[in-house]
C-alpha cells in the first residue's frame, strides 16, 4: 500500500510539474520562442484552444450585419491577448481604417485577420505601410474569419471609382465559406442575428484558468485522434479549394475585370505555399477568362520566417507586416501598377 501511494504521489507531482510548465510557456512567449517549432506548436495549441478570444464576438468589438454576418463595431476599442494590446479605430463601414479611406481609394485590401492586422497597431499593418510607400490612398476592408465570398460582398459596398489595384489575402479557412456558397447555388450563407447573439454569449465569456486546464486540453486532443472519423463524402468536398476560389471570383467578374489583382496566401507561422503554387498553374490555363489569367500570384512563404510571426498567436508581428508591405510594393513596381518603368537593381531590394 505504501508503494502504491508513493507511485500515485509521484504521478501527481509529474502531472503538476507538466501543468506548471505548460502554464509558464503559454504566458511567456519570449521563452517559448527558444524551443523547436514542433514543441512550440504543441503549446500554441493550448493557447488557441484554451485562451485566445474571438475578436468579433467580444462585447464592443463586433457588430451584427444582416448581409455580412458581422463587421467590426464602428468607433474604437482595445483588443488584448498574451502577446499584444492594440487599439482598433473602425470607420462607418465597420472596417479597421479611417473615414477618409472610404472616399475613392486607390488600393483596396481584402482578407481576414492577417490583413486586419490582428496583433499589431494600425500603423504597423501592411495595408497602412504600403499606403505610405506608394503614397496612394488605401482602404483595408478585411474582417477576421471572412472568406472569399464575403470579401466580394464587402467589395460591392465600397467606392471603386478610383481603384487601381486589389490585394486579396487567401487563407485555408476560406474553404468552408466558399464551399457552402457553391453548394447553396451561389448564394452566400450569412450568419443570422440570433446565431450571432448565441456565439457572442458563448465566446464573450472570460476564458479563466483552472488547475489542470492544459492537461485536460491535451487529453481531449489525444482522445479526438483516437476516435474513428467518418469518411469524407463527395458532397462535402465537391470542388478543391482552388476551384472554389476561382468559382467565387468568376461569379463576381463584373467587379474584377480590368482591375489589377494581387493574390497571396497567409495561414500563419506553419504556412505552406500549396495554394499559390496550384493557383499559378490554374491561371496559366488558356481556357480561363482573361481576368483570371491576369491574376498576380505571390508566394509569401519564401520571404517570411518564424521571427516574422507572433509566437503563440501565429499572426504577423510588425516585422512580418513590413516584409509583406515590401513584397507588395516591389510587385507593384515590377508589374507596372505604380507606372514606374525602371526596376531597381535586385541588390537594392532588402527585406527585414
In DSSP notation, 187-246 reads ---PPPHHHHHHHHHHHTS-----TTHHHHHHHHHHHHHHSPPPPPPTTT-SS-HHHHHH
pTM of the model: 0.91
- Give the per-residue pLDDT at 230: 61
Q: Which domains does the chain have, with CATH numbers?
A: 2-52+207-226 (no CATH), 74-191+238-348 (3.40.50.1110)
**Cβ contacts of 167 within 8 Å, gap of 6 or more:** 107, 108, 109, 110, 111, 127, 130, 261, 262, 264, 328
Residue with cell 474604437: 76
- Give the per-residue pLDDT at 67: 95
Quote the CA–CA distance of 87 and 55 in Å, as a whole number.
12
The SS3 of residue 295 is coil
Quote the CA–CA distance of 56 and 73 in Å, as a whole number.
8
Per-residue pLDDT of the chain (352 residues; tens, 9 = 90+): 788 888 898 999 999 999 999 999 999 999 999 999 999 999 999 999 999 999 999 999 999 999 999 999 999 999 999 999 999 999 999 999 999 999 999 999 999 999 999 999 999 999 999 999 999 999 999 999 999 999 999 999 999 999 999 999 999 999 999 999 999 999 999 999 999 999 999 999 989 999 999 999 999 998 888 876 665 554 555 689 999 999 999 999 999 999 999 999 999 888 888 999 999 999 999 999 999 999 999 999 999 999 999 999 999 999 999 999 999 999 999 999 997 433 444 334 333 3
The SS3 of residue 224 is helix
Question: How far from 103 is each of 30, 155, 182, 246, 322, CA to CA, in Å?
Answer: 41, 13, 32, 29, 25
Residues in the chain: 352
Give the residues across from 63 on adjacent strands. 71
- Give the per-residue pLDDT at 1: 75
- Give the per-residue pLDDT at 223: 86
- Give the per-residue pLDDT at 346: 37
Long-range contacts of 250-253, Cβ-Cβ distance < 8 Å, separation of 24 or more = 250/289, 250/292, 251/152, 251/186, 252/152, 252/155, 253/289, 253/291
Quote the CA–CA distance of 328 and 337 in Å, as a whole number.
11
The SS3 of residue 31 is helix
CA angle 287, 233, 113 (to 5 degrees): 70
- Nearest 10 degrees: Cα torsion 76, 93, 103, 166: 110
Amino acid at each position: 500500500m505504501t508503494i502504491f501511494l508513493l507511485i500515485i504521489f509521484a504521478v501527481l507531482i509529474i502531472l503538476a510539474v507538466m501543468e506548471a510548465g505548460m502554464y509558464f510557456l503559454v504566458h511567456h512567449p519570449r521563452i517559448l520562442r527558444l524551443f523547436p517549432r514542433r514543441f512550440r506548436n504543441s503549446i500554441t495549441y493550448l493557447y488557441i484552444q484554451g485562451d485566445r478570444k474571438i475578436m468579433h464576438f467580444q462585447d464592443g468589438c463586433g457588430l451584427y450585419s444582416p448581409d455580412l454576418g458581422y463587421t467590426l463595431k464602428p468607433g474604437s476599442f482595445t483588443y488584448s491577448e498574451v502577446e499584444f494590446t492594440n487599439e482598433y479605430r473602425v470607420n462607418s463601414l465597420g472596417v479597421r481604417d479611417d473615414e477618409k479611406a472610404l472616399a475613392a481609394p486607390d488600393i483596396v485590401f481584402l482578407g481576414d485577420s492577417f490583413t486586419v492586422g490582428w496583433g499589431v497597431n494600425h500603423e504597423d499593418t501592411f495595408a497602412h505601410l504600403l499606403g505610405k510607400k506608394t503614397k496612394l490612398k488605401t482602404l483595408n476592408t478585411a474582417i477576421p474569419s471572412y472568406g472569399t465570398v464575403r470579401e466580394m460582398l464587402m467589395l460591392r459596398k465600397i467606392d471603386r471609382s478610383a481603384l487601381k489595384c486589389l490585394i486579396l489575402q487567401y487563407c485555408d479557412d476560406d474553404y468552408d465559406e466558399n464551399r457552402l456558397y457553391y453548394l447553396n447555388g451561389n448564394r452566400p450563407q450569412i450568419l443570422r442575428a440570433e446565431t450571432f447573439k448565441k456565439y457572442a454569449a458563448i465566446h464573450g465569456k472570460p476564458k479563466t484558468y483552472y488547475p489542470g486546464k492544459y492537461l485536460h486540453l491535451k487529453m481531449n486532443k489525444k482522445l479526438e485522434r483516437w476516435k474513428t472519423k467518418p469518411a469524407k463524402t463527395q458532397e462535402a468536398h465537391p470542388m478543391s479549394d482552388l476551384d472554389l476560389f476561382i468559382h467565387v471570383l468568376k461569379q463576381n467578374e463584373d467587379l474584377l475585370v480590368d482591375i489589377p489583382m494581387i493574390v497571396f496566401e497567409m495561414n500563419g507561422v506553419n504556412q505552406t505555399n500549396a495554394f499559390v503554387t496550384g493557383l499559378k498553374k490554374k491561371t496559366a490555363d488558356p481556357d480561363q477568362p482573361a481576368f483570371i489569367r491576369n491574376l498576380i500570384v505571390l508566394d509569401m512563404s519564401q520571404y517570411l520566417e518564424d521571427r516574422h510571426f507572433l509566437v503563440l498567436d501565429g499572426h504577423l508581428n510588425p516585422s512580418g507586416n513590413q516584409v509583406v508591405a515590401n513584397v507588395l510594393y516591389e510587385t507593384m513596381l515590377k508589374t507596372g501598377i505604380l507606372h514606374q518603368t525602371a526596376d531597381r537593381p535586385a541588390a537594392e531590394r532588402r527585406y527585414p
